[in-house]
A = this chain, B = another copy of it.
Amino acid sequence: MIVLLKQNPDKAQLDSLISWLESKGVEIHPTVGATQTILGLVGDTSHLDIDLISALDIVEAVRRVQEPYKNANRKFHPQDTVIKVGNTQIGGGNLTLIAGPCSVESEEQICEIAMKVKESGATMLRGGAFKPRTSPYSFQGLRNEGLRLLSIAKKLTGLPIVTEIMDISQLPNFDDVDVIQVGARNMQNFELLKALGTVRKPILLKRGLSSTYEELLMSAEYIMAGGNNEVILCERGIRTFETYTRNTLDVAAIPVLKQLSHLPIIIDPSHSAGKSALVSPLSCAAVAAGADGLIIEVHNDPAHALCDGPQSIRPEAFDSLVKKLNVISDTIKE
């Protein structure tokens, strides 16, 4: 961390700052120029509050040079994290394909889709039981009944299940869920993140609509600080000025997050674009950019779904997409 002092800083305040910083265990290397003094702080500065230092009268600006996350940081954990879920592995060169409907609607629906996507090569089943909807008047999901139906589909197909949690109070019902998803709107629901830090299940953490890479990794850090190191990052589109697509898929997030962190990263091409015609090109792009997997909405009858928007594709489209993805995945590894 670099602390840039104002011209002619008060001596007493400067001494007090220096002794406070030293008490935090950081070494201080001052650079005294003709017009400006800079303090270089060396050591573990992840516990220092940058806003606090900025507030001091003698400080002009503070620049962080070290990432504020530790457990999620590749610098301290160079190997890729590989997460086992049932018979499948996420990360480490595997291509994870999570598929299923937006919402669980009936036993027949979820079981039929589960069987179809398994046949095409899906390695996990997704399906919403608790649904975050912008409007209180929209369908809010089958809730616990949805979780029960997912368990039936899991037993039938052997596919591990991924589904979203919306509140800490729902946690006791997630026993049979294999991977717990945190939605984009809850990425900074810190109380929920803390609770998930104590769980012994992988967490699929979606990037918030306007969250930076660093904020996403800090939210992963909340979970990991609680003792749960099995976090899967998920880019699902960010909010920009462009309104033609629902959100803008940030494909650069894949190589950047893999460089900053050892955690696996998957992509949600369905929600980012909000149009089924874009699911296939965005999926190919994500795998070509090095994603560890995809979470895709697949529906047997998009026109009659209770909550699926135009972003779901049919099983046949999923089937032909998977074939292309495998070739692309092999190509970029060479």
Residues of A within 8 A of B (CB): 2, 4, 27, 29, 31-36, 38, 40, 42-43, 46-47, 49, 51-52, 54-57, 60-61, 63, 65, 68, 132-140, 166-169, 185-186, 188-192, 194, 209-210, 212-215, 218, 221-222, 225-226, 238-245, 248-252, 254-256, 259, 272-274, 276-278, 281-282, 284-290, 302-303, 305, 307-310, 312, 324, 327-328, 331-332, 334
User: Provided the pairs A240-B248, A309-B54 are in contact, do residues A65 and B68 lie with their beta carbons within 8 angstroms?
Assistant: no
Contact check, A42 vs B34: say whether CB atoms are below 8 A apart.
yes
CB pair A167 B166 closer than 8 Å? no
Q: Which residues of B contact A334 (CB under 8 A)?
A: 324
Q: Are A138 and B55 in contact (CB under 8 A)?
A: no
Which of B42, B56, B213 lies in contact with A31, CB distance below 8 A? B42
| A49 to B, closest residue via Cβ | B138
Partner of A248, one of B31, B51, B248: B248
**How distant is the Cα of A287 from the Cα of B331 in the complex, in angstroms?**
13
Q: Are B210 and A55 in contact (CB under 8 A)?
A: no
Given contacts A33-B42, A34-B42, A331-B331, contact A302 B55 (CB under 8 A): yes
Contact B305 A278 (CB under 8 A): no
This protein's copies in its complex: 4
A-B CB proximity, top 7 nearest: A33-B42, A51-B309, A210-B210, A31-B40, A29-B31, A288-B288, A284-B288
Task: Using known A-B contacts A240-B241, A284-B289, A303-B56, determine if residue A65 contacts B38 with beta carbons closer than 8 Å.
Answer: yes
Taken together as a complex, chains A and B put the C-alpha atoms of A312 and B55 apart, in Å, by: 9
Whole-angstrom distance between the Cβ of A58 and the nearest chain B Cβ: 9
* B-chain residues with CB within 8 Å of residue A218 when the two chains form the complex: 134-136
Q: Which residues of B contact A4 (CB under 8 A)?
A: 65
A135 cross-chain contacts in B, Cβ below 8 A: 46, 68, 218, 221
Residue of B nearest to A256 (CB): B244
